[in-house]
Structure 1
Amino acid sequence: MAISDFYTLNKHYKTRIVPHIKDSGGEPLRALSVGLDLLENKKVQAIIGLGTSPEANFLAALGDKAKVPILYLSGSPMLSTEYPYPVQLTQDQILEFDGVASIVESFQRTNVILIYEQGEIISNLADSFQEKNIHIAHKSAISLSATDEQILVELHNLTSSTLQTTIFVVHVSPSLVSRFFLNVKRLGMISKGYAWIITDKTMDLLHSMDSSVLIESIQGALGFKSYIPPSNELHNFTVRWRRKMHMENPNKEMMELNVFGIWAYDAIWALTRAVEKVADKISQTKEQNAASIEHNRLS
């Protein structure tokens, strides 16, 4: 839709981008393999990706070596400092983490327990708490493939170190959060005396989850979600998107357009403009070189 809309409004553009859709399955090594295939066999000039932090860092290193820009729809705090080629299209994670820390501060709590996905980089979140003089009493890294038994063992470890003034901050993927909170509920940890905050890592993909399971599992938790101000353009696009999805999948339950779909749309527009500008510069350079060669020949 982004490509069609853009070139309908910009018919004078000399360049056209062609998408090659690949699914990494959420696995870092698979993402690396897919990235290599796109670069070597498809000869792509840019990659737009949505994935976990380990996936992002694998692709960032790949893009750096190939000197190909990698546009990310999910944040990884190390990308901007380690590699020059990744471009993060979302808001800075620090803004959200500062918001989480401010909420904790407003509860007049002095301790938090931080639960995050294994492989996730949480240094920025820890810094936000430190600036508010909030102590991280315990950190718990949980694997995306953790079993219910492993989650229960970790929760038992957390209850033994939990203070009355502690808030739990959960920074994990949607595929893990439902199972995690169902086990939290089994242990009676969603009740008076417990406070839970969920970051946008889960909340931004809320509509992709089974609603009944989701409501049952995280009822009572406070969630942070990316915010896009309403506009006529956004409303019109959403209506067209729903119509298109219904026509293509008439028997499928209609899901809400999430923030990543909107960011992906904007990413395509940004990329098409960049490709055209680069092509213009290359064309101008070639013309200047040709003119210089002709001048030298005539001299």
Structure 2
Amino acid sequence: MIRVLLLFLVVCFGPFLSLIGRGNSSRHGIVNIGAILAFNTTIGRVAKVAIDAAVKDVNSDTSVLRSTELVIHAQDSNCNALTGIMGGLRLLETDVVAIVGPQSSTVAHVVAHLANEVQVPLVSFAATDPSLSSAQYPFFVRATQSDAFQMAAIAELVEYFQWREVIVIFTDDEYGRNGVADLNGRLAEKGCKISYKATLPSEANGTDIFDVLIKVAIMGSRVFILHADHDSGRKVFSVAHSLSMTTTGYAWIATDWLSSLLDSITTLGSEVINTMQGVLTLRQHTAKQQREKISSLDWRNLSKDDRYLQLNSYGLYAYDSVWMIAYALDAFFDDGGSIKFSNDSSLQEIGGGGSLSIEALRMFVDGNLLLKKIHSTVFDGVTGHVQFDVDGFLVHPAYDILNVVGTGTRRIGYWSNYSGLSIESPESLYLKPPNRSSLNQMLSDVIWRDKHR
């Protein structure tokens, strides 16, 4: 009789007891998260402000983590793989449960191996290299758009303007090489091709760039795709302008490094902007109405040490990355997750002591559960609707197509993975059936240097 009664209680009240157990999970007073940024770069400086603002907002909103406080620990990678892994080791020694970053694709390739070993999720807001995948690096989460989509957009621009061949100039690193490899395939699908690939050495100086541009100047194509970082990209346009390679008859498309630079720094000066007149560039699309929801992202106060710094799209993704981790942690605790670390035997075997002892690193026991919660997080952030698809990509990849004119940029349209090139915003297109017919591909007129298309 007693056994029957117990069975009755389990069947009737088991679900409620389970909910009570989850609700009373071990929520920690403080949870440490890390960040790996390049403090000497524009994107890194913007991201630092945005991440600090997000942590402040999360801790002010008791409906998210309740009594738990997020504490951020940041390390400077200096966009260098060795420095980045040293910073990653320092963070992991502090038992962080997740890391915002790395910012650099080159650093991400290295640190992702370490994250896999200790099962700590990397939530990167700026590592766009298409070859970074969750299949190879399970604990790498791309909280921004992959350059695979940006290259698809550029291929469609090349087709739209009826160009058959382009010359690509790019930085000689994982970010540059793998992005261009993806572009090569995308162009081939359109019946177009890269006629020449010109690499820029690391930290290229004016002489390096002059030599590269002299070589490409004698080639047939006058359409250039520039996939670089802020410093190298600015130098390329400066030298190209001095060689009259930005005049009428030339066409340049810069990847989103240029839009993030123009959005971030208001003091570039007319002489710099003049070298870029007529250039097309892309910007990761973020919904305007969502950006206005930022509460503490008051740049006058938060960026007071760098008062000429402005928000760019990567800053928005950095801000949302912190919220993504916070929502995931809330679900993690509700599901009985606990912050516990154990010694990793494989790291014990290779550890060699020193100020950064690999054997001192410990594995996050419930790291897989937190990773699962991150991938299943759905919310409306400052970048728009945040959700991952089954392949680990953010849903609704889209870009603004910008034209550098005068002292700034003008938007001439959008590209979305949903409907291709359009003068309608992606948000309005999502309400309609997808239409990728050639007749439906449309942009506003481009103002090339000295003339319209």
| TM tier, smaller | 0.7 to 0.9
Equivalent position SS for 2:66: coil
1:77 equivalent to 2:133? Answer: no
Tell me the equivalent position of 1:225.
Answer: 283
Contact 2:300 2:307 in 1 (8 A): no
SS of the residue corresponding to residue 195 of structure 2 reads strand
Matching residue of 1:87? 141
Q: Give the Å deviation of 1:4.
A: 2.6
Instruction: Establish whether residue 242 from structure 1 lines up as the match of residue 299 from structure 2.
Output: yes
C-alpha separation in 2, matches of 1:114 and 1:283: 48
Whole-angstrom distance in 1 between the partners of 2:129 and 2:337: 35
Alignment: residue pair count = 278
Q: What is the alpha-carbon distance in structure 1 between the residues aligned to residue 231 and residue 215 of structure 2?
A: 22
- Which of 180, 186, 192 does residue 248 from structure 2 map onto? 192
Of 46-55 and 177-186, more deviation after overlay is shown by 46-55
1:159-216 Cα shifts (integer Å, max 9, x gaps):
22x214x410001011111111111111111112211100113322333445215303
Offset, 1:111: 0.2
CA RMSD of aligned residues (A): 2.2
The one-letter code matched in structure 2 to 1:191 is T
Q: Percent identity?
A: 28
Higher mean C-alpha displacement, 117-126 vs 166-175: 117-126
8 Å CA contact 1:15, 1:276 repeated in 2? no
| Amino acid corresponding to residue 95 of structure 2 in structure 1 | K
C-alpha distance in 1, partners of 2:274/2:75?
A: 33
Match of 1:48 in 2: 100
Measure how far apart 1:94 and its partner are.
Answer: 2.3
Q: CA deviation at 1:73?
A: 0.9
What corresponds to 2:155 in structure 1?
A: 101
Q: Closer, same or farther in 2 for the Cα pair 1:36/1:279, shift >3 Å?
A: same
Give the secondary-structure state (helix, strand or coil) at the position aligned to 1:82.
coil
Rounded Cα–Cα distance in structure 1 between residues aligned with 2:264 and 2:291: 20
Q: Which piece of structure 1 moves more, 93-102 or 134-143?
A: 93-102
From 78, 82, 94, the equivalent of 1:25 is 78
How many angstroms apart in 1 are the aligned matches of 2:155 and 2:320?
Answer: 30
Higher strand share: 2
Q: Distance in 1 between matches of 2:116 and 2:297?
A: 37
Contact kept? 2:238, 2:272, Cα under 8 Å: no
Residue in structure 2 matching 1:65, options 114, 117, 121:
117
Contact 1:15 1:275 in 2 (8 A): no
Q: Distance in 1 between matches of 2:262 and 2:297?
A: 21
| Structure 2 alignment gaps of length 5 or more | 1-52, 341-453
Matched, 1:211 2:211: no
Q: In structure 2, what is the Cα distance between the partners aligned to 1:189 and 1:243?
A: 39
Q: Deviations over 1:6-32 (max 9, x none)?
A: 233335624332100222112221111
- Scaled by the length of structure 2, the TM-score of the pair is 0.57
* 2:105 aligned with 1:38: no
Separation of aligned partners in 2, 1:181 and 1:16? 46
Give me the whole-angstrom Cα distance separating, in 1, the residues matched to 2:336 and 2:198.
51
AA matched with 1:211: L
Q: What corresponds to 2:68 in structure 1?
A: 15
Indicate the residue corresponding to 1:142 in structure 2.
200
Q: How much has 1:266 moved relative to structure 2?
A: 0.9
Q: What CA deviation, in whole Å up to 9, does each residue of 1:62-114 have, x standing for no partner?
A: 21122111111121212214211100011232222111111111221100111
1:219 positional shift: 1.9
Worse-superposed segment, 110-119 or 72-81 = 72-81
Give the TM-score normalised by the residue count of structure 1: 0.85
